């Protein structure tokens, strides 16, 4: 019995292990299909090596990969597994084929429905809920089966308990491993991000400063020239273009300047109220222009030390992105600053275009932008500023629905 158990655990571990070894960091489309394929292989193996109990009853762990894939991936991802499961079941033959078909169809309908809700849970929550779902599914399974074996209830009960316990143990082990892998990937992303920021902040401050002065001087002279009465209208338009481009260059440079270390002259000990209000006021015209309504809720009383200018710029970038995401149809940009157990929680939600998972991972990479006029420096600055106050940023986004940035700053 223990041999079968170990063998099955090995099958279930196989996709997890291979994923860790080969494509942990790039969950591309191909890798996703590979993962689905590997899970199907696991499922077939689980069915091919079932638990044979003394009393002649048989059960296997096929529903564990099925449920885990359904919870993590939703309908489209688990459908191939559903096909594989039933094809293989038909191939094995014997009685109970149709019961199996009906039962797996019910699971196919019910479990992936929980996908959204499941993905919104914390790592521990997901382990717990996956175990609960597996338990409930298997409990239903044995419950329906019990009608068939009603004449041998005395033996059926221990079998059920035994099978349920195995399912619970195996699911919790596999789920804990999967969650550990996910946590490791996240930590590494965070680490890479902070490495990137350090390099940039060292370089940018010095370079940006040097470039800013010549830019200002050029800007001044061009403006003088524009006032001249002896140049033609065409020449004036050239100057106008040059000024526009200079303005853009200045924007990029000032974006870079804000990556530098916090400056002691700007440090305040405050609760973010002033910065939020300030940014709300200066962004209002831009929001109106895009039919966006800014709604602020402020209930935070916790204080934190931070660089005032950087924090303002950080909120400007976040507000601006939110407004730009809703530029097509307008909408509401809601900001909620609250406190929760010694943490300042700043939530910025828009109902704009949203992002895919791949796009969220790209956030904060220098020059990553999907906009025609974008610099791709805004989010980099946001990450650097929030990093300076030891905060963390969670991004939740649904394509076409909107995006929520949740910033947690410990005090």
CB atoms within 10 A of CB 337: 21
Q: Are 244 and 223 in contact (CB under 8 A)?
A: no
Q: Are 364 and 395 in contact (CB under 8 A)?
A: no
Give 370's DSSP letter: -
Listed ranges 47-55, 110-118, 239-247, 318-326: which one lies at the site for ligand ADP (CB under 6 A): 318-326
The three-point CA angle 243-382-406 to 5° equals 135
Listed ranges 49-57, 105-113, 298-306, 350-358: which one lies at the site for ligand ADP (CB under 6 A): 350-358
Give 353's DSSP letter: S
Residue 228 is a binding residue for ligand ADP (CB under 6 A): no
Residue 352 is a binding residue for Mg ion (CB under 5 A): no
Task: Give the shortest CB-320-to-Mg ion separation in angstroms.
Answer: 5
Task: Give the shortest CB-324-to-Mg ion separation in angstroms.
Answer: 7
Residue 387 is a binding residue for ligand ADP (CB under 6 A): no
Rounded to the nearest angstrom, the gap between the alpha carbon of residue 17 and the centroid of all alpha carbons in its chain is 22
| Site residue total, ligand ADP (CB under 6 A) | 22
Token pair in block for residue 107:
């699971």
Question: Cβ closer to ligand ADP: 204 or 271?
Answer: 204
Query: CA-to-CA distance for 347 and 336, rounded, in angstroms?
Result: 5
Residue 313 is a binding residue for Mg ion (CB under 5 A): no
Task: Give the shortest CB-372-to-ligand ADP separation in angstroms.
Answer: 9
Question: Cβ closer to ligand ADP: 15 or 387?
Answer: 387
Q: Is 296 exposed, middle or buried (0-12, 13-18, 19+ CB in 10 A)?
A: middle
Residue 403 is a binding residue for ligand ADP (CB under 6 A): yes
- Contact with ligand ADP (CB under 6 A) among 74, 112, 262, 352: 352
Q: Is 90 exposed, middle or buried (0-12, 13-18, 19+ CB in 10 A)?
A: exposed
Question: Cβ closer to ligand ADP: 171 or 317?
Answer: 317
- Contact with ligand ADP (CB under 6 A) among 8, 42, 204, 317: 317
β pairing state of 267-270 and 292-298: unpaired
Q: x/- site string to ligand ADP, residues 274 to 313, per CB under 6 A?
A: ----------------------------------------
Rounded to the nearest angstrom, the gap between the alpha carbon of residue 249 and the centroid of all alpha carbons in its chain is 32
Query: CA-to-CA distance for 191 and 279, rounded, in angstroms?
Result: 30
Rounded to the nearest angstrom, the gap between the alpha carbon of residue 53 and the centroid of all alpha carbons in its chain is 43
β pairing state of 331-340 and 304-307: unpaired
Residue 374 is a binding residue for ligand ADP (CB under 6 A): yes
Q: Which residues sit opposite 405 in a β-bridge?
A: 348, 395
Listed ranges 114-122, 275-283, 295-303, 317-325: which one lies at the site for Mg ion (CB under 5 A): 317-325
Residue 378 is a binding residue for Mg ion (CB under 5 A): yes
Question: Cβ closer to Mg ion: 206 or 370?
Answer: 370
Question: Cβ closer to Mg ion: 156 or 315?
Answer: 315
- Contact with ligand ADP (CB under 6 A) among 172, 242, 375, 408: 375
The three-point CA angle 159-163-166 to 5° equals 145
Query: CA-to-CA distance for 386 and 403, rounded, in angstroms?
Result: 18
Query: CA-to-CA distance for 97 and 90, rounded, in angstroms?
Result: 6
Residue 403 is a binding residue for Mg ion (CB under 5 A): no
Residue 410 is a binding residue for ligand ADP (CB under 6 A): no
Residue 322 is a binding residue for Mg ion (CB under 5 A): no
Listed ranges 9-17, 130-138, 303-311, 373-381: which one lies at the site for Mg ion (CB under 5 A): 373-381
Q: Which does residue 403 bind out of ligand ADP, Mg ion, none, counting CB within 5 to 8 angstroms by kind?
A: ligand ADP
- Contact with Mg ion (CB under 5 A) among 8, 77, 115, 321: 321
Listed ranges 53-61, 279-287, 370-378, 399-407: which one lies at the site for Mg ion (CB under 5 A): 370-378
Question: Cβ closer to ligand ADP: 51 or 368?
Answer: 368
Q: Are 318 and 405 in contact (CB under 8 A)?
A: yes
Sequence-separated contacts (24+) of 139-142 with Cβ below 8 Å = 139/164, 141/63, 141/103
Binding site for Mg ion (CB under 5 A): 321, 378
Binding site for ligand ADP (CB under 6 A): 317, 321-322, 325, 350, 352-355, 363, 368-371, 374-380, 403
């Amino acid at each position: 019995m223990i041999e079968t158990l170990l063998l099955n655990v090995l099958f279930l571990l196989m996709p997890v292990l291979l994923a860790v070894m080969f494509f942990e960091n790039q969950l591309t489309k191909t890798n996703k299909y590979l993962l689905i394929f590997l899970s199907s292989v696991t499922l077939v193996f689980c069915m091919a090596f079932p638990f044979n109990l003394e009393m002649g009853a048989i059960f296997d762990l096929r529903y564990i990969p099925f449920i885990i894939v359904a919870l993590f991936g939703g309908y489209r991802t688990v459908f191939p597994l559903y096909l594989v499961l039933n094809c293989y079941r038909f191939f094995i033959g014997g009685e109970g084929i149709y019961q199996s078909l009906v039962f797996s169809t019910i699971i196919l309908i019910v479990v992936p429905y929980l996908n959204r809700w499941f993905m919104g849970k914390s790592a521990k929550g997901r382990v717990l809920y996956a175990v609960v779902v597996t338990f409930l599914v298997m409990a239903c399974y044995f419950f329906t089966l019990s009608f068939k074996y009603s004449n041998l209830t005395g033996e059926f009960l221990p079998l059920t308990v035994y099978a349920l316990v195995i399912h619970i143990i195996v699911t919790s082990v596999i789920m804990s491993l999967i969650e550990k892998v996910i946590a490791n990937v996240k930590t590494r992303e965070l680490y890479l991000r902070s490495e990137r920021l350090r390099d940039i902040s060292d370089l940018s401050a010095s370079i940006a400063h040097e470039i800013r002065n010549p830019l200002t001087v050029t800007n001044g002279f061009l403006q003088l020239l524009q006032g001249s009465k002896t140049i033609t209208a065409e020449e004036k338009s050239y100057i106008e273009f040059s000024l526009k481009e200079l303005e853009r260059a200045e924007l990029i440079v000032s974006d870079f300047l804000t990556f530098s270390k916090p400056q002691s002259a700007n440090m305040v000990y405050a609760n973010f109220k002033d910065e939020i209000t300030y940014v709300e006021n200066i962004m209002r015209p831009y929001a109106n222009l895009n039919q966006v309504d800014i709604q602020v809720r402020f209930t935070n009383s916790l204080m934190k030390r931070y660089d005032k200018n950087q924090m303002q710029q950080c909120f400007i970038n976040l507000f601006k992105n939110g407004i730009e995401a809703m530029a097509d149809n307008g909408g509401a940009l809601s900001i909620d600053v609250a406190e929760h157990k010694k943490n300042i929680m700043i939530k910025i939600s828009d109902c704009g275009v949203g992002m895919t998972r791949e796009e969220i991972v790209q956030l904060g990479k220098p020059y990553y932008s999907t906009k025609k006029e974008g610099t791709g420096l805004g989010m980099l600055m946001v990450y650097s500023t929030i990093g300076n106050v030891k905060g963390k940023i969670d991004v939740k986004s649904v394509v076409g629905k909107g995006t929520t940035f949740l910033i947690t700053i410990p005090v």
